[in-house]
């Protein structure tokens, strides 16, 4: 009775089995269907002609509309009905796909332990030594509380003492594993004083991924046991200005775990990993929807994704009966190898002196893989990014590379020899020759190079900029 009342007194009765051949009018499906349709008309009118909606449904609709636009652009003469159908299928695929989550943070903050906590088992390796450190990116997949999750654990990229030789493959691995981009970044911090050191790590994350990445970020605290009794993490955050600012930039998304002590607590308890995992997953769902169902991406990640898709095609053709998952897995591995081979000769350490050098190099190679025509752009990109991203410590090196790269650009442009390949590599490796080239009276060469550089500049600027969802579908 209460229920019918809450539903505005709207109710009908049907019998799917016996009322096809009615004995009286009321006990007839035909009559009841007609009555039901009238009721629906009245309900629509009573709601001013609108349909029920909420934020989540609207976000899904926006996603469908974006997909419609992509389908419309890629296929002529398709009926609106078919476009809508395909867009819906694609949206469903997007929403059901495994969510790629990259775990970032300072060395020792608890990234690997957090990955294990989220998966509820020790899938990620922790070195139990004094200098326990993750040296390799590790990716694992699992369904957690009904959601498909891909977790990518990383070394402490931003405060590492790893050598370039160790770091390069790990950055390449991280980029290939999360292409075309992560659905969420988990920024891991300990419940402790938020010092300049922590701030520097965050600044670096923003510097590389742009502040836009924070729209996809969740701050995750570990060592929850250090949180004063009765206090919630929001209160702890509010006590520090830098932390509060970061929290605001991350859309106030934060959670707290204790990977050691909160393992067996009740699900409904705030100080329980089980409870926090469910809350974290809900937050990630909401973040994905708030970002129109898409993941964070930029041109570099898209370039790598395009490469993976090409490899997928090759794997598909060469092997029958392989599952989609296996094809993807093999394509990622092939792309990783390909990038590593292309990067083999690129030495960034001496010249770039910072982790971002490697990332930029990956971007360059990825872009070169797709279009040889942008290779000139890439060279300038090395120059520009070195100066800005490598920052303080590598400042001087950055400047010298800038000079080096510009000169190399001039030389190669004049020679008309800039095709595919890695010019940055050639420039770096052939430093002596290039330095010599500076001395050459080459005005004509310089003019030509200048015009190329001006053009290149615009493209370069966009290389690491985040991309909108519309540009994301590379298939």
Rounded CA separation 358/210 (Å): 17
Total number of residues that touch ligand GTP (CB under 6 A): 21
Torsion sign over Cα 367, 373, 375, 381: negative
* Other Cβ atoms closer than 10 A to 217: 28
Shortest Å, Cβ 107 to ligand GTP: 4
Report the run of H or E that residue 115 belongs to, with start and end.
helix 111-119
Torsion sign over Cα 332, 338, 342, 347: positive
Residue 296 near which of Mg ion, ligand GTP, none (CB within 5-8 Å, type-dependent)? none
* Other Cβ atoms closer than 10 A to 206: 15
Q: Are 437 and 267 in contact (CB under 8 A)?
A: no
Residue with Cβ nearer ligand GTP (160 or 375): 160
Q: Which of 43, 47, 75, 132 binds ligand GTP (CB under 6 A)?
A: 132
Shortest Å, Cβ 295 to Mg ion: 23
Shortest Å, Cβ 188 to ligand GTP: 6
Residue with Cβ nearer Mg ion (174 or 369): 174
Total number of residues that touch Mg ion (CB under 5 A): 3
**Binding positions for ligand GTP, 385-404, rule CB under 6 A:** none
Q: For 207-347, where are the E strands, in sequence order?
A: 217-222, 254-256
The span of 107-115, 291-299, 348-356, 372-380 binding ligand GTP (CB under 6 A) equals 107-115
Q: Which of 63, 67, 258, 307 binds ligand GTP (CB under 6 A)?
A: 258
Rounded CA separation 109/189 (Å): 6
Cα 330 to its chain centre, rounded Å, is 20
Q: Are 426 and 407 in contact (CB under 8 A)?
A: no
Among 189, 279, 278, 164, smallest CA distance to 242 is for: 189
Report the run of H or E that residue 35 belongs to, with start and end.
helix 29-46
The span of 19-27, 106-114, 346-354, 439-447 binding ligand GTP (CB under 6 A) equals 106-114
Residue with Cβ nearer ligand GTP (153 or 305): 153
**Binding positions for Mg ion, 74-113, rule CB under 5 A:** 111-112
Rounded CA separation 231/218 (Å): 20
Shortest Å, Cβ 298 to ligand GTP: 24
Shortest Å, Cβ 203 to ligand GTP: 18
Instruction: Give SS3 for 27.
Output: coil
Q: Are 292 and 469 in contact (CB under 8 A)?
A: yes
Residue 109 near which of ligand GTP, Mg ion, none (CB within 5-8 Å, type-dependent)? ligand GTP
Between strands 184-190 and 217-222, the pairing is parallel
Q: Are 179 and 308 in contact (CB under 8 A)?
A: yes
Task: Write the CB contacts of 200 (distance below 8 Å, at least 6 apart in sequence).
Answer: 158, 159
Rounded CA separation 320/341 (Å): 27
> Mask 220-249, x = binds ligand GTP (CB under 6 A)?
--xx-x------------------------
The span of 254-262, 301-309, 349-357, 385-393 binding ligand GTP (CB under 6 A) equals 254-262
Region for 307 from its dihedrals, namely left if φ exceeds 0, alpha if ψ lies in -120 to 50, beta otherwise: alpha
Q: Which of 134, 222, 335, 472 binds Mg ion (CB under 5 A)?
A: 134
Residue with Cβ nearer ligand GTP (126 or 290): 126
139 forms part of the interface with Mg ion (CB under 5 A): no
**Binding positions for Mg ion, 109-128, rule CB under 5 A:** 111-112
Residue 110 near which of Mg ion, ligand GTP, none (CB within 5-8 Å, type-dependent)? ligand GTP
Q: Which of 94, 259, 348, 411 binds ligand GTP (CB under 6 A)?
A: 259
**Binding positions for ligand GTP, 133-152, rule CB under 6 A:** 133-134
Residues that bind ligand GTP (CB under 6 A): 105, 107-113, 126, 132-134, 155-156, 222-223, 225, 257-260
Residues that bind Mg ion (CB under 5 A): 111-112, 134
């Amino acid at each position: 009775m209460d229920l019918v009342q809450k539903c505005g007194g709207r109710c009908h009765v049907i019998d799917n089995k016996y009322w096809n051949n009615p004995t009286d009018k009321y006990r007839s499906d035909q009559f009841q269907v007609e009555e039901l349709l009238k009721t629906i008309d009245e309900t629509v009118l009573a709601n001013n002609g609108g349909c029920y909606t909420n934020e989540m449904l609207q976000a899904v609709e926006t996603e469908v509309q974006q997909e419609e636009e992509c389908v419309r652009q890629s296929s002529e003469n398709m009926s609106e009905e078919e476009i809508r159908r395909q867009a819906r299928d694609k949206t469903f695929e997007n929403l059901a796909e495994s969510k790629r989550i990259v775990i970032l943070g300072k060395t020792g903050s608890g990234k690997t332990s957090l990955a294990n906590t989220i998966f509820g088992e020790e899938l990620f390796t922790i070195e139990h030594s004094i200098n326990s450190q993750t040296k390799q990116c590790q990716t694992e997949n699992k369904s957690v509380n009904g959601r498909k999750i891909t977790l990518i654990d990383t070394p402490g990229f931003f405060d590492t003492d790893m050598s370039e030789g160790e770091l390069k493959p790990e950055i390449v691995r991280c980029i290939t594993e999360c292409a075309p981009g992560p659905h969420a970044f988990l920024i891991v911090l300990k419940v402790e004083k938020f010092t300049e050191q922590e701030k520097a790590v965050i600044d670096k994350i923003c510097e590389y991924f742009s502040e836009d990445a924070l729209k996809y970020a969740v701050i995750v605290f570990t060592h929850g046991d250090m949180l004063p009794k009765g206090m919630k993490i929001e209160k702890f955050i509010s006590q520090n200005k830098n932390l509060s600012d970061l929290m605001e930039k991350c859309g106030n998304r934060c959670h707290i775990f204790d990977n050691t002590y909160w393992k067996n607590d009740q699900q409904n308890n705030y100080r329980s990993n089980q409870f926090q995992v469910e809350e974290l997953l809900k937050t990630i769902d909401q973040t994905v929807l708030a970002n129109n169902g898409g993941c964070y991406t930029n041109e570099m990640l898209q370039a790598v994704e395009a490469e993976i898709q090409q490899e997928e095609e090759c794997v598909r053709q060469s092997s029958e009966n392989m599952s989609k998952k296996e094809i993807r897995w093999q394509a990622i591995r092939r792309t990783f190898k390909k990038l590593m081979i292309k990067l083999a000769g690129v030495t960034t350490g001496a010249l770039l002196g910072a982790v971002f050098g490697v990332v930029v190099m990956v971007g360059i190679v990825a872009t070169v893989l797709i279009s040889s025509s942008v290779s000139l752009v890439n060279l300038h990109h090395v120059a520009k990014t070195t100066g800005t991203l490598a920052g303080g410590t590598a400042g001087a090196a950055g400047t010298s590379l800038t000079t080096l790269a510009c000169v190399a650009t001039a030389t190669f442009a004049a020679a008309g020899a800039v095709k595919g390949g890695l010019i940055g590599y050639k420039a770096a490796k052939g430093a002596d020759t290039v330095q010599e080239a500076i001395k050459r009276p080459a005005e004509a060469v310089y003019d030509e190079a200048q015009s190329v550089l001006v053009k290149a500049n615009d493209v370069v600027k966009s290389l690491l900029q985040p991309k909108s969802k519309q540009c994301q579908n590379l298939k």
